[in-house]
Chains A and B, each alone.
Chain A
Amino acid sequence: MIAYTEDQPTIYERSKPGRRAFVAPALDVPDHEVSELVPAALLREHEAKLPEISEPELVRHYNRLSRRNFDLDSGFYPLGSCTMKHNPKLHERVAALPGNAALHPLQDPRRAQGALELMWRLQHALGEIAGLPHVSLQPSAGSHGELAGVLLTRAFHEDHGQQRTKVLTPDTAHGTNPATVTMAGYEVVKVGSDADGNVDLDDLRAKADEEVACLMLTNPSTLGLFDHGIDEIARIVHDVGATLYYDGANLNAIMGISRPGDMGFDIVHFNLHKTFTQPHGGGGPGAGPIAVSDRIEPYLPRPQVVRREETDGSCFYDLDYDRPKSIGRLRGFQGNYGVFVRSYAYIRSLGAEGLREVSETAVLNANYLMARLRREGVLQYLPAAYERLCMHEFVLCGTPMKRELKIRTLDLAKRLLDFGVHPPTVYFPLIVDEAMLVEPTETETKETLDRFAETLAAILREAQEDPEVARGAPYTTPVRRLDEAGAARKPVLRQPL
């Protein structure tokens, strides 16, 4: 493969007047001047300066750009909190079937029975996995699901005549949690973590009062730890009449093993693009369905996919708009159906036993990788932030490395690029100094994990001899370290044409 390390001109720089790829279908109706059909004052005077380019050159442009991307299909991608697991190829094929891909969202439900049945079955499966019976597939991504969840909480309290003002989020939370709370019109109150990485129960008790609408929690947490105080957390939160929200970003650790509903959660969101194999697409699309308890069900977004009985006893699937207490829509149409097809295919492929095996293997791989890093001496410089069994991911702390080897976690990450590995998540969670969050996922082999451990050890040995190597990394990538501060100071967000 040719590595496209030389600068690639933009599509606009490749443009030349007179070139084209598109030929319009012949005009088969009476011709008119455009100005006869639209008032001149509302017409565009200058063409949008889109590129002028032939199809062969378009193909080369995008293929060359693609080779300047690292991707999951080519290499290890242990990006913590993102669950970069294999994206089965079958899923692309079934999503592209014309009955799915060319189905108009406003088709009469009677003529979209296959799609609605698939959605209904997916709702059922996700509800069973979460241990919460009622599911809306509508939210477009995890953070959209979070917003749905907090708006449901608001609707629940308002329906009970209560105006609460605060939402609790742990200091380990994903940034989307506090951002969501603000968007839903609540004030964020941060809850601390104890020395073991669990929610600090004393701090929680002190902050949980009648003003609190909800606690948003990730369990296993973003530290990769299962908070075994969850029973007590649920009790404290429910005792003040608040709801308990489950951020499903880490659901990959517990499928078929433990269920948020059984832990006392009222609302769960799923990231179908994490746990359920929707390809990440370089930043979407995803989908963020939610599952809720009985007491939250009346407020679910509309429309809901339902199964109705015909007079003759047979069933059909429908969209139910008649939901008077619903919070309303969160977006257009019925959600990211193309994502639902892929996730449903995944659940059908694996079944109950396979899903449990996924979580078991994800946790096995993470703990094995941590053990291998210990054997390689890596933990001497990057100790585990918490000396416990981890779940599907774990956090290392790069403080000793920074002190003794004079390289930062960022340098280690950048040096990994030269070894063909996507670095783990860095500088998150915020409560761990020089953090590195490693999530290998279940789809990686033991050999890949071994090689990764050896690579990290080799980089640390190299840094013992010459820290400048890591500090100047990467060297083999299409570009070297980029001036991010400069980009933000003087933003160039489009090409001048």
Chain B
Amino acid sequence: MSTYTSVTPEDRRQMLAEIGVTSIEDLFAEIPAALRLDRPLALDAGLSEVEVFQELRALAARNVSTEDELSFLGAGMYDHYIPALVDSIIERSEFLTPYTPYQPEISQGGLQVMFEYQTAISELTGLPVSNASVYEGPSAVAAAGYIAKHTNSRTRFVVSRGVHPHARETLRTMSHGWGMEVVEAPLHDGATELPELDDTVSAVIIQQPNFLGAIEDVPALTAAAHDAGALAICSCDAHSLAILKPPGECGVDIAVGEGQPLGNRLDFGGPSFGFFATTEALIRRIPGRIAGETRDLDGRRGFVLTLQTREQHIRREKATSNICTAQALNALAGVIYLSWLGRRGFVELAELMLKRTAYARERLRAVDGVELVHEHPVFRELAVSLAAPVDRVVERCRRLGINPGLPLGRDYPEHEDALLVAITERRTREDIDRLAEALGGAVAAERPALQETHA
């Protein structure tokens, strides 16, 4: 059994004597006897470090990771390259093991990182105010909705069907507590079609590019929201912000997004971080930690957590959010990644993905039995519909070592035999060609018409 305690039997004897009790049990005298567990916990006995490593390694080996197959899975989390630099910095004890920086004099490293991160997110989104991170993408959408509700006290959210299904569901879960109604705006040929908006609409919530990969006309959508007096909330793909008009310039009031693609591992879904940026007007409603610049007694520049009167530890039931622990280490990975890419590199990487995705689109649409779900411009992801049952096509591709993407049927029954295909910079032209060939072969083999012929 491993042990992470350092008290020896002799220490224990001395410590109990100092306290003035005779046994460890005496220390728990305040717990009524009837509430004390009269048996050991029913858990396996502890193991040595060697044994735990072996067991965990064996479990991990039963997962098929993006290192084990040619993966085109995306849909919110993407297999981007993470520079070695990120690992070497975030493993440092000084970043890995402190708590939230409640004592700024000994937390300047972490606080300056937050300030630099906020600056980067503000640059990306074109909005003046960023917080220091929230949990992740979908819950960030709900957190933005909460601000809208408190800003205008209206009763409905209009959310595009192009917003990530997890984000829409999270918004519904949370909104129920606030008594808000969530109305879905349909997609027409893959792009958001807003219904008539009236003065009950608190916010219009969209995603750029949307879940099916389409680049939306965000300026037009935000204008419609503002015409109805609603806030415009946009969930943004971080890499796309290198190319697309920043949400701040499109009239978006709150821009949020999933931070995983920025230097964070897939980790089967977390931990990652959510980014959250907004206008000056909403600065005192923003959730979570925010670092601000200030001076010390000697006039030197320093950083502190600021605007804390928004937060739960000060304002309690009047706080703008209940968030406490967020995702500081993941946001650090994010800002290291962005600094590593740099001003030009961020654009170059995005353009590479844009061009490879354009190539993939042309390559896939040329495959017999594969059609595009929509004709809107795409950035790193595209949806294709197949002339064969998607699960069987996927299974055939897997036998060739290819994971061709996410079947859309569960979340979009209207696209029953469709796939969402993501092209990160780790997927080369050769990889895309392999995908096209595999899909072509699989669809041909599984096409109902052909099977009838076989029969």
Q: Which residues of B contact A142 (CB under 8 A)?
A: 324-325
Stretch at the interface among A32-40, A307-315, A397-405, A459-467: A32-40
Stretch at the interface among A82-90, A199-207, A238-246: A82-90
Q: Which residues of B contact A65 (CB under 8 A)?
A: 108-110, 112-113
Q: Which residues of A contact B105 (CB under 8 A)?
A: 414, 417, 474, 477-482
Q: Which residues of B contact A59 (CB under 8 A)?
A: 85, 88-89
Q: Does B413 contact A (CB under 8 A)?
A: no
How far apart sit A40 and B93, CA to CA, in the bound complex (Å)? 46
Q: Does A188 contact B (CB under 8 A)?
A: yes
- A111-151 interface with B by 8 A CB criterion: 111-115, 117-118, 125, 128-129, 131, 140-144, 146-147, 150-151
Q: Which residues of B contact A209 (CB under 8 A)?
A: none
Q: Does A332 contact B (CB under 8 A)?
A: yes
Q: Does A236 contact B (CB under 8 A)?
A: no
How far apart sit A460 and B430, CA to CA, in the bound complex (Å)? 71
Q: Which residues of B contact A22 (CB under 8 A)?
A: 83, 340-342, 345, 348-349
Q: Does A435 contact B (CB under 8 A)?
A: no
Q: Mark A350-375, 1 if CB is under 8 A from B, else 0.
A: 11111111101101110110111001
A143 adjacent to B270 (CB under 8 Å)? no
Known pairs A22-B341, A183-B322; A175 contacts B316 (CB<8 A)? yes
How far apart sit A368 and B189, CA to CA, in the bound complex (Å)? 69
Please tell me which one of the listed residues B67, B73, B100 contacts residue A282 in the complex, with CB atoms under 8 A apart. B100
Q: Does B315 contact A (CB under 8 A)?
A: yes
Minimum CB–CB distance for B171 against chain A, Å? 9
Question: A25-B428, A43-B243, A70-B107 provided; 11 other pairs, C-beta below 8 A?
Answer: A37-B355, A128-B41, A188-B316, A282-B332, A331-B136, A332-B137, A351-B46, A351-B47, A365-B15, A472-B297, A493-B283
Please tell me which one of the listed residues A8, A25, A101, A143 contacts residue B324 in the complex, with CB atoms under 8 A apart. A143
Minimum CB–CB distance for B395 against chain A, Å? 9
A488 adjacent to B1 (CB under 8 Å)? no
Q: Which residue of A lies closest to B32 (CB)?
A: A228
A353 adjacent to B330 (CB under 8 Å)? no
Q: Which residues of B contact A77 (CB under 8 A)?
A: 98-99
Q: Which residues of A contact B79 (CB under 8 A)?
A: 102, 104
Q: Which residues of A contact B242 (CB under 8 A)?
A: 44, 47-48
10 closest A-B pairs by beta carbon, nearest first, are: A333-B269, A281-B329, A99-B60, A351-B46, A105-B269, A285-B271, A114-B62, A283-B328, A73-B93, A22-B345
Residue among B36, B306, B324, B342 with the most chain A CB within 10 A?
B324
Q: Which residue of B lies closest to A65 (CB)?
A: B109
Q: Which residues of A contact B276 (CB under 8 A)?
A: none
Q: Mark B273-315, 1 if CB is under 8 A from A, else 0.
A: 1000000000100000111111111101111101111011111
Please tell me which one of the listed residues B63, B283, B346 contacts residue A107 in the complex, with CB atoms under 8 A apart. B63
A348 adjacent to B306 (CB under 8 Å)? no
Q: Does B35 contact A (CB under 8 A)?
A: yes
Q: Does A226 contact B (CB under 8 A)?
A: yes
Q: Which residue of A lies closest to B297 (CB)?
A: A480
Q: Mark A254-293, 1 if CB is under 8 A from B, else 0.
A: 1111110011000000010100010111111111000000
Stretch at the interface among B172-180, B193-201, B226-234, B446-454: B172-180
Q: Which residues of B contact A55 (CB under 8 A)?
A: 85, 340
- B51-79 interface with A by 8 A CB criterion: 52-53, 55-68, 71, 73, 75-77, 79
How far apart sit A178 and B327, CA to CA, in the bound complex (Å)? 22
Q: Does B321 contact A (CB under 8 A)?
A: yes
Q: Does A210 contact B (CB under 8 A)?
A: no
Please tell me which one of the listed residues A93, A102, A330, A352 contacts residue B45 in the complex, with CB atoms under 8 A apart. A352
Interface residues on B, range: 35 or more
How far apart sit A118 and B100, CA to CA, in the bound complex (Å)? 28
A283 adjacent to B266 (CB under 8 Å)? no
Q: Mark A296-338, 1 if CB is under 8 A from B, else 0.
A: 0000010000000000000000000100000111111111111
B130 adjacent to A493 (CB under 8 Å)? yes
Please tell me which one of the listed residues A8, A63, A225 contacts residue B112 in the complex, with CB atoms under 8 A apart. A8
Q: Which residue of B lies closest to A477 (CB)?
A: B105
Q: Does B352 contact A (CB under 8 A)?
A: yes
How far apart sit A182 and B167, CA to CA, in the bound complex (Å)? 21
How far apart sit A172 and B56, CA to CA, in the bound complex (Å)? 40
Q: Which residues of B contact A454 (CB under 8 A)?
A: none
